[in-house]
Structure 1
Amino acid sequence: MEDNKLASGYCFRNNRDFLEIARGANLVLIRRSADSAALRDCIENPEKYLSASTVLKDSRSTKAGIAELADHSPVFIKRYNNKGLRYTLRYMFRNAKPFRTWQAAWYFEMNKIPTPKPLAASASRTAGILKSAYLVTESVPGTIPTLDFCRLMFESRKIQLEYAEAVGDLFSKMHKAGIYHGDSKLSNIYVSRRGKGAFSFGLWDLDGVDIRPKAICENLRASEIARTISSYIEISGRLGERADMEKAICLFTDSYSSASGTRLDMDSIRKKTRKYLKLK
């Protein structure tokens, strides 16, 4: 049954997990277990909720925030902006971004990789041109802002090891399942409190995820790890900690190797890390 759920297109069809509502060129997807009048009102009138949300990001490409539904449930809502002609042409014959992220989140869930569950998504087209696109996911409770967690982490070797171990485990599962995140900076690895001194970890912002039929190749694995290491080093510098690059590389590659049972090319990791940091 799990294999059927991972079949291409499963999360876009009417079945026991999802509900598809098509009205002409407009398409709405809803997670059946979350279906409610409040959620439907949100995905049918997303701007009403987005305008009243606590905005987390407002850029040329997206606007996102935490909103409260009519039943007082908190959700994360994101609007994907049309950035111009190139964007219009690119998505005339491709799934709209929220649907691509919807599928990525379902793959994460089926492979037991923590990520916010997708609740609803919509896209509206006119003459094939994408006019609007929205994604609604669950809101993860107790998340710690990235810089706040990093301050704690850089003061504790124990937390550094716990974090690296969690990242190694997440990435190992992801790569084994043929999933490449594509933007594995620290702000996309969320941390939430699980109790006194305990944390849980997961991945979000899946817009750049690439799903492949086989396990991710060594070169892309190295790129993913190097992106995380470079982000770790960059944030340490912002916080006045100045993490040693070689020690940071060992911290994350050792944890990844332990979780995945594979050894990555250390020279490749160093080269990619320096490239991300724009070092010569």
Structure 2
Amino acid sequence: MGACSLWISRDAYDSAAAIELLADPDRLFSLRGAEIVKDQRKIKVARISGGVAGNAANVYLKRYNAFSWRYRFFSLLGPSAARRAWRGASILIENGFRTGRPVAAVECRSWGMLTKSFYVSREIPSAKTLDACWVEELSRDRGVEGRRRRSELLQALAVLFRRLHQARIYHNDLKDANILVRPADHYTVESFFLLDLEGIRRVSRLSLRRRIKNVVQLNRTLGRLVSRADKWRWVRVYLGSEFQDRDARRRWLARIVQATARADAHSMRKRNRDLTK
């Protein structure tokens, strides 16, 4: 037998019409204002302009597909990706970090196994992914003001990573495309919004391995666009007082370089395997 469970932000979507519509989010894909942003085997994403059921705010809808029998079987053991995203948003908001305002999460199961799940969140107006902001807004200005803005953004980003890790919050895919930023004359931690929330969790102790992994994820994405000197300054701000310890600083830099090289090599092997299939 099949059934769906719904978690909803009742403060903004408390009408019967909104609850009925959000209880079956597949219908949102066919709304007049729906624009399909991504449609893949594992996920489908749409931007819905004009709002939902009388609420004028634009939203994003993400559907997680039960793409294999293996996935469905192991879904018996834990919550859906949509439910994890809902929890991830709560973790961020409760600890003072920003993300798109959660609207609803839905998970549908048959005989306890997931068939599909959905996460709906408010659009973040005027925001761009971090890589797009860097390329389109910052890298083109080669003057003094451009250098100041780039330096300020990187410093704020380093503080964001440091505060996340101090709060023992781990995001398993903290690459530049999963960080939104509002282009501005001045950047602070409040300029950033995190995406892909299903991989977020708060742990009792955040290991060094996980901290390194997050830094490497950023280094392998935005790091391709910034100078070596900028990377050095970023690490200095991120480490804070740790940076003053020469041995600790060297260990950190060595681990970042080594972990980045391993990740690059793994990615290359995977691409080569895919090409030979």
What range describes the TM-score normalised by the shorter chain of this pair? 0.7 to 0.9
Aligned pair partner of 1:271 in 258, 261, 276: 258
Can you give the 5+ residue segments of structure 1 that lack an aligned partner in the other structure? 1-23, 237-242
| Aligned-partner Cα distance in 1 for 2:174–2:101 | 19
- Shift of residue 42 of structure 1? 3.5
CA separation in 2, counterparts of 1:273 and 1:205? 21
> Is 1:33 aligned to 2:23, yes or no?
no
More displaced stretch, 80-89 vs 203-212: 203-212
**1:47-126 mapped onto 2 (5 Å cutoff):** 47-52=26-31, 53-67=34-48, 68-71=51-54, 72-126=56-110
Checking the alignment, whether the CA contact within 8 Å between 2:149 and 2:186 is kept in structure 1 is: no
- From 183, 208, 213, the equivalent of 2:199 is 208
TM superposition shift of 1:198: 4.1
Specify the SS of the correspondent of 2:6: strand
| CA 1:184–1:145: 2 relative to 1, 3 Å | closer
User: What count of residue pairs does the alignment treat as equivalent?
Assistant: 245
Partner of 2:173: 183
Matches within 5 A, 1:116-195: 116-151=100-135, 152-155=137-140, 156-193=146-183
Q: TM-score, normalised by structure 2?
A: 0.80
> 1:173 deviation in Å?
1.9
Q: CA deviation at 1:59?
A: 1.4
Deviates more, 1:99-108 or 1:28-37: 28-37
Q: Distance in 1 between matches of 2:131 and 2:231?
A: 20
Q: Which residue of 2 aligns with 1:257?
A: 239
Q: Distance in 2 between matches of 1:189 and 1:95?
A: 24
Displacement of 1:147: 4.7
Aligned to 1:21: none
Shift of 1:91: 0.7
Do the aligned partners of residues 266 and 147 (structure 1) sit closer, same or farther apart at CA in structure 2, a change above 3 Å counting?
closer
Once the 2 structures are TM-superposed, how far is the Cα of residue 92 of structure 1 from its aligned partner? 1.2
How far is 1:141 from its partner? 0.8
Q: Does the Cα contact within 8 Å between 1:170 and 1:202 map onto a contact in 2?
A: no
Q: Letter of the 2:6 partner, please give it.
A: V
Distance in 2 between residues matched to 1:223 and 1:248, nearest whole Å: 19
State the one-letter code of the partner of 1:30. Answer: I
Q: In structure 1, how many angstroms separate the alpha carbons of the residues matched to 2:4 and 2:40?
A: 25
Between the two proteins, what is the percent identity of the paired residues?
24
Q: Match of 1:42, as an amino acid? A: L
> What root-mean-square deviation, in Å, do the aligned CA atoms of Structure 1 and Structure 2 show?
2.4
Counterpart-to-counterpart distance in 2, 1:162 and 1:39: 41
